[in-house]
A and B are shown apart, each in its own frame.
Chain A
Amino acid sequence: MRYQGALLAVLAALAVGCGSDDSGEGSEGSDEPVTLTVWNSGYFPAGGKEVWEEIDREFEAANPNIEIQHEGIPYENLYVRLRGTIAARRGPDLVTLFPGAFAGDYRDGFAPLDEYITDGQRDENPLWKTSQSPDGKTYAVPMLAYGYMLTFNKAHFRKAGLDPEAPPTTDAELYEACAALREAGIEPLAAGWRDGYLLEWYLFVYGGQLLSPEDTDRWMGLELPASNPAFKGALEFVAGLEERGCFKKDAATASLEGARDQFAKGEVAMALETTGNLAMFEESLGDDVGVALPPRLGSSQWPEMTDAGANVGFGITSWSEHPDEAWKYIAFAAERENQELFAERGDIPVNRTASTPSDPPAEEAMNEIMKLPDNHTIYTAFPASVLIPLEKDAPAFLAGDMSADEVLQRMDEALEKAKPRLQ
């Protein structure tokens, strides 16, 4: 009889343990206490944690019954954890997610937000109008905007005899600058291929330049294969930069973060960078940091543009017991005053009514780049599962062990598998 009691105790303990749920406590209703759990890949000092902390404080003050449990999860771990969380149907209420096809790849775990978005919010946040996934639903709305730019170190330019106020604007000028810098003993371009993210950036920028407007629309509708001439041209441009010695040597083991640090520490003269990192560069390099449009390829289909658009945002999980409160938090973070908090640290707000600083000159140059009428992004059409083969093949591609055709073919295979699941 004793062992039967022990058995029942074990089974009861298992039942209690399996019954726990961390997707928020409290019951529905405006006055009932609610806890919203947020998984945020940007909740770190480099990603604006202090801004999120202030937003959380303000939100909780305005909504005394809602507590925010904000957790920072590194980008490289977040989406793997998310798969498991979706399979388990339990976890946070809000998760940072890139809109478009990326979010569509995880749509089984997220609720469509279209019914929540008001006309006024669409007007204030134009990028919310174009954040749908291939099935036409919006699973994530961006909290920030971004754009790619060429950052350059004016001190290195001066040392190499280059005009620090005239950065390269074309591929030919870029090659010349690389040669001059190398001759002066300066590593020209930041590089880090280990995680493959930097190669993705080059593909977005230069694939975007080489895709015609018509083909851009086809790509955004997933009607164009990845193995198209524009993407091949973009990858071959990067391989060409490597062959010409434009990239920092011994970059095979560096990651995207490593490339960013190379520029921040003054180890290289130029970097393809995102607007979100400018504040960090200004802190470390001061007035020596310059910002310019990424050099235009001769065969670019656009007169002047960069890849720019919706940055990461939030999605509400489909198992959240408090979707209304979760949407309230998203809407609060997108309000002008809170968006200006991000702008103060150098980020690009998604709310068009938020003002952006015009000091120092690099910030002003960045804001001007972001206003170019032809700016658009192609990255939101890449499902997460299509980017993974590109990330894995990046080191071999840059080492010359794989051709652009081989890399793109693997991406196409992943795209064919992903399409039926996205539409």
Chain B
Amino acid sequence: MTESLSGARRRGDVGYLVPMLVLVGAVVLVPAGVAIFHSFTDWRPGGESPWVGLANYREFLSNPVTGEIVKNTAVLLIGVPLWTALPLLLAFALHERTRATGFFRAVFFFPAVLSPAIIGIMFRGILAPEGLVNELLLGVGVVGEPVLWLDEASLVKPTLIFVLAWASVGAGTILFAAAMTSVDNHLLEAAKLDGANWLQRLRYVVLPGIASVVAFWVVYQVVSVFLYVFGWIFILTRGGPGYSSTTLDFDVYQNAFANGLFGYASAQAVCLLVIAAIVVIVGFPLARRTRRA
């Protein structure tokens, strides 16, 4: 009786999973499989798609634009320390009995509820030659003419780093603030009594206690640079000026939907999948190890 009940319960559990598995299969696995197959063809939806073997991959590796994409991605990764340090500092400031903590948490979390499209449109206006930032800088005399934050090749990537810092600070702050509640307040009190200043308490008491969360956040940010910046690039820069802010996910879109090179774009997408998989497979176990350490 117990066995049949247990078996029936397992079949029931599987039954509840089937719709989700069907959806994941239909929306994720099947398209991925189609893209992997067509990365070896000159894919022309609606027309003939001849087999081309590794030609798309060879072209991707030899394309000068790929070199620019690698450079752009490397520069964006420089933003990871900022995207980690900023919410960490804010979370600790909130944790240390700041007044109106709830209000500040809500304010800092505000960007997290906005879509990249809305934030992008907002920042396009703020960073425009006649926008708020340039008005302030011109007003106080820091610059003599408007700065082309998004239209100057040398400035566009640092600008993106700061925009992404603004956009991610909310989620990071909430995450770290929640993690900090697990840190024993007595340790913090003891550190205070021993004369540790604010930064020392953060470094020697709080960080060791939330190291795994910080590590998880760092890995997540690295993955985001590869997989989640398309929305920002599309709204803010369209990969320009030239290719100076083009990322791999944006170039996939460009090659598929602007240039009609679906096979080549599929090869790029497969490469992106492999890169992201490597980051996740290597990164998250490392993050878990910080907890054990």
- Do they bind each other? yes
Contact status B260-A106, CB under 8 Å: yes
Contact status B241-A396, CB under 8 Å: yes
A417 with B261, Cβ < 8 A, contacts A7-B18, A87-B46, A395-B241 known: yes
A108 interface residue, CB < 8 Å from B?
Answer: yes
Q: Main SS of chain B's interface residues?
A: loop
Contact status B242-A79, CB under 8 Å: no
Contact status A395-B45, CB under 8 Å: no
A6 with B19, Cβ < 8 A, contacts A250-B146, A395-B151 known: yes
A83 with B256, Cβ < 8 A, contacts A4-B15, A11-B22, A395-B242 known: yes
Produce 1/0 per residue, B214-238, CB < 8 A to A.
Answer: 0000000000000000000000000
- Residues 38-66 (chain B) with a chain A CB within 8 angstroms: 42, 44-47
Least CB distance from A26 to B in Å reads 24
B108 interface residue, CB < 8 Å from A?
Answer: no
Contact status B15-A3, CB under 8 Å: yes
Chain A residues lying within 8 Å of B103, measured Cβ to Cβ, are none
A154 interface residue, CB < 8 Å from B?
Answer: no
Contact status A108-B46, CB under 8 Å: yes
A109 CB contact (under 8 Å) in B15, B46, B261: B46
The interface stretch among A45-53, A173-181, A385-393 is A385-393
Q: Main SS of chain A's interface residues?
A: helix
A80 interface residue, CB < 8 Å from B?
Answer: yes
Complexed CA–CA distance, A396 and B243 (Å): 10
Considering only CB atoms and an 8 Å cut-off, how many residues of chain A contact the other chain? 38
Contact status B12-A3, CB under 8 Å: yes
Contact status B257-A392, CB under 8 Å: no
Known: A385-B258, A388-B254, A392-B242. 6 other contacts (CB 8 A): A4-B15, A86-B45, A108-B46, A384-B260, A399-B241, A401-B153
A421 CB contact (under 8 Å) in B44, B128, B145, B254: B44
Kindly count the residue-residue contacts between A and B in the assembled complex, taking CB atoms under 8 Å apart: 82
Produce 1/0 per residue, A241-258, CB < 8 A to B.
Answer: 000000000101100000
Chain B residues lying within 8 Å of A3, measured Cβ to Cβ, are 12, 15-16, 18
- Residues 47-87 (chain B) with a chain A CB within 8 angstroms: 47
Complexed CA–CA distance, A6 and B22 (Å): 13
Contact status B148-A396, CB under 8 Å: no
B170 interface residue, CB < 8 Å from A?
Answer: no
Complexed CA–CA distance, A388 and B259 (Å): 8
A402 interface residue, CB < 8 Å from B?
Answer: yes
A89 interface residue, CB < 8 Å from B?
Answer: yes
A414 interface residue, CB < 8 Å from B?
Answer: yes
Complexed CA–CA distance, A108 and B19 (Å): 35
- Residues 254-273 (chain B) with a chain A CB within 8 angstroms: 254, 256-262
Complexed CA–CA distance, A318 and B44 (Å): 14
Chain A residues lying within 8 Å of B15, measured Cβ to Cβ, are 3-4, 7
Chain A residues lying within 8 Å of B240, measured Cβ to Cβ, are 194, 392, 395
Q: Can you list 23 A-B contacts (CB < 8 A)?
A: A3-B15, A3-B18, A4-B15, A7-B15, A7-B18, A7-B19, A7-B22, A87-B46, A88-B45, A108-B44, A109-B46, A194-B240, A250-B145, A252-B148, A318-B46, A388-B254, A388-B259, A392-B243, A393-B242, A395-B240, A395-B242, A401-B242, A414-B259
